[in-house]
Structure 1
Amino acid sequence: MNRLLELLKVIDGDVEFDGKNLTKLKSQHIDRFLAKHARCRHYIYQKCVADDCAYCTINPPRIPEELFKELYFVPDSTVNANGYTPFDELYGTETDDSGRPSLTLKPQSTAKVRGFVHCCECGKRRVVYSEKRLCPQEEKSLIRVQEELLFVCCAVLFPGGQYQDIIIVKEGQCCSSPIEVTYYAGKTMVFDQICIHCGNIDVVETEHTRELQEQFGIVRPICQTCLNANRPVITRNALKTKNKKNKT
């Protein structure tokens, strides 16, 4: 991290970095540098080949200069009338990632829930989505990811390869994120009840949760540990109650 801070100070000598979270950096100089010299996409982050790059000045390329100057950004997937444009036709041109296959998928749809996978860091279950039911080979690949502890929250389930945009998990989740509501939907698959906050399989029912069940159509499971930590019981769909007057 100290080395990273040294590199950042080459661009902006006044920048402050806590060594933990790059997203909290506030520097117009660094923002302008990244806008000019880098390209960030969903699956890839690339560095430029510009001659006036401060980073390249102190960390020169390790390949011959004549080859380095012939490099371009890796192009994005681009849709045409016949499918996707070949790589050799796109290389060296300006593209965007609007044609990324996963943009056309809507993993939040409960009709596409196909299973779940455990994060190897936090242990929470993350729902797996696919347009079609998984075939035996796809199920084996998913099992392999689980057995070899290859998945962590915020990561792509199958980075690269044939399943990258076919078998997916919801984007933007981190280890602190709660269990997805689609886990509990039970339309295409029915899973065990687990705590919505931490994923603990030992959920409890208390007098308070029973009272909430009379007031709401949905009361999410919670464990005793989260109750003791004053985590809230998640509810949805308040029931309409009518006061009935006794006829005399």
Structure 2
Amino acid sequence: MQMTAFGKVYVTTKDKVFQPSNPFRHATELTRILRDYHSTDDVNLEKTILCLMTDGGPDHRVTYETVKTSLIQLFMQLDLDMLIAIRTAPNNSWVNPAERCMSLLNLCLQHCALDRKEIRPDFETKIRHKSSLNAIRNIAKVSPALKTAFGESMKPVIENVNDRFRRMKLKNVPFTVYKGISDEIIDDQLSIVPISTQGDADETVFNPTANSKDFRECKALQEFIKMHCSSTHYAFQIMKCREDPCRYCCINPWRTDEQRVEKLSFLPCPIPDESEQVYHSFEEASTLNLFSFNMTYYKTNFLEKKVDDSKRPSAKNSSDFDDFAVEFDRKNRDILKSQKIRDIIMCGECNKPRVIYSAKKLSDEQESLLNRMKEEGNFECGDSFPEDCGFTTKRCLSCTAEVEVNYYGASLRGIRVTCCIFCGNQDDLLVDTDPYIEKLYESFSVVRPICSTCRENGQEAKT
């Protein structure tokens, strides 16, 4: 199916060092755009249902609690009746129509030289040899004035880039350009989530620097997700209560026409046909959808079950690796050993740690390159690194593969975080005093970590 680019392009530019991308910044900046151009009262969205499609980077990975919370923030700030957020599968961002403006953005930056203003000599000296964003941020924690000075030095660069973007048009519609939003506004907009779910903003501290574990442990937030949301590997959907409205839905009733409300349901997961090679069309999948239009049926039949999205390609056990990957691991078998372990990198798709191997200790330049890759968060199991980088991972690995046994070796003791060998989960691990683990230690000296979920699913601990 051929599609042509359409719509209006909005671009936000910011300082990557002290205005880093995160789910809450994206939600707040999107709220600003939608209120400016698609709201009649400058608060609520004119349309009551919002559909989002993103490229699936770390800030849009809908399985992360931080991303879920940011989408709930967007849902509440715009008083939506339903929000559907989906991300593309790995290496398939090209199917997202919004990606089609990238060629124009790249075009307007051609032959453009960028150079920030110099800051105080002592600050320049401190950041001169820092090769990662986190290194500069850490300096600013000790010297807060650096953040302000660096922001001032970046203003001409941002204005230069914005000026070029303003000249661009898509179908004769000019681009609209914004500057990054302040941290104070992000904090303020996020505060609607604890207020709406708990009635007391101070009961739980919500802030953009919190991690997924913090939000996962917030009972009121998890209860809201349980009652209003559908979460799958590639989609996160939110809908107001239709029957027995909760506290939030009583204060913010449906704005959609009642007849349309009765026909609303969550998008179904892709369902393969009998051949397991082709997926049903959307219309066919909708008829097979386990989400009934009747919310009472949905609550009684779905809430206690996990959504079955196991038919996605990345969830299938795969040992059918291409010849290049097999040959690469065979040729480098002398490097892919515990003695050659140098570091770890997290898979952005399954969030499992993968071991970095190198024939020699990593140089400062190699460590800087690896740190930048970690910050980008785009590595996926089995990915290849540049040939001349001097380090690698195993290529014959998929997201369904267990965490490598080498990960638990002595080489990584200083940087390793204990996680389940099957799923990579760091929470809810069975402790040594658990009867099942104690019994294994009677026969074995080593028992690999396993979480309660994997154990309940029938997995046996590795020894």
Give TM-score, length-normalised by structure 2: 0.29
Poorly superposed stretches of 4+, deviation over 4 Å: none
Q: Secondary structure at the match of 1:226?
A: helix
Aligned residue identity for 1:174: S
Q: Could you tell me which of 411, 416, 421 is aligned with 1:196?
A: 421
Partner of 1:232: 460
Instruction: Structure 1: state its 5+ residue gaps.
Output: 2-15, 22-39, 44-96, 236-248
Partner of 2:380: 152
**Following the alignment from structure 2 to structure 1, what is the Cα–Cα distance between the partners of residues 278 and 379?**
24
**Following the alignment from structure 2 to structure 1, what is the Cα–Cα distance between the partners of residues 359 and 330?**
11
User: Structure 1 residues 118, 230: CA separation in 2 closer, same or farther (over 3 Å shift)?
Assistant: same
Matches within 5 A, 1:132-211: 132-156=360-384, 158=385, 160-163=386-389, 166-187=390-411, 189-190=413-414, 191-202=416-427, 203-205=429-431, 206-211=434-439
Report deviation, 1:217.
1.9
**Following the alignment from structure 1 to structure 2, what is the Cα–Cα distance between the partners of residues 231 and 181?**
16
Aligned residue pairs total: 145
Matches within 5 A, 1:53-64: none
Does residue 114 of the first structure (1) align with residue 373 of the second (2)?
A: no
**Following the alignment from structure 1 to structure 2, what is the Cα–Cα distance between the partners of residues 103 and 129?**
14
**Following the alignment from structure 2 to structure 1, what is the Cα–Cα distance between the partners of residues 330 and 388?**
13
Does residue 18 of the first structure (1) align with residue 277 of the second (2)?
A: yes
User: Structure 1 residues 19, 180: CA separation in 2 closer, same or farther (over 3 Å shift)?
Assistant: same
Answer yes or no: is the 8 Å Cα contact 1:111–1:188 preserved in 2: no
Matches within 5 A, 1:22-171: 42=324, 103-156=331-384, 158=385, 160-163=386-389, 166-171=390-395
**Following the alignment from structure 1 to structure 2, what is the Cα–Cα distance between the partners of residues 41 and 212?**
39
Instruction: Structure 2: state its 5+ residue gaps.
Output: 2-274, 280-312, 314-321
**Following the alignment from structure 1 to structure 2, what is the Cα–Cα distance between the partners of residues 101 and 225?**
32
**Following the alignment from structure 2 to structure 1, what is the Cα–Cα distance between the partners of residues 332 and 353?**
24
Answer yes or no: is the 8 Å Cα contact 2:450–2:461 preserved in 1: yes
**Following the alignment from structure 1 to structure 2, what is the Cα–Cα distance between the partners of residues 207 and 186?**
26
Higher helix share: 2
- Between the two proteins, what is the percent identity of the paired residues? 30
Answer yes or no: is the 8 Å Cα contact 1:115–1:189 preserved in 2: no
Answer yes or no: is the 8 Å Cα contact 1:107–1:169 preserved in 2: no
**Following the alignment from structure 1 to structure 2, what is the Cα–Cα distance between the partners of residues 125 and 176?**
12
Answer yes or no: is the 8 Å Cα contact 1:118–1:125 preserved in 2: yes
Report deviation, 1:187.
3.3
Report deviation, 1:104.
4.1
Deviations 1:158-204 (A, max 9, x none): 1x3521xx211012110010000000111364422211001111222
Cα RMSD after superposing both structures: 2.9
Higher strand share: 1
Give TM-score, length-normalised by structure 1: 0.52
Answer yes or no: is the 8 Å Cα contact 1:112–1:129 preserved in 2: yes
Report deviation, 1:41.
6.0
**Following the alignment from structure 2 to structure 1, what is the Cα–Cα distance between the partners of residues 345 and 396?**
16
Report deviation, 1:141.
0.9
**Following the alignment from structure 1 to structure 2, what is the Cα–Cα distance between the partners of residues 220 and 101?**
25
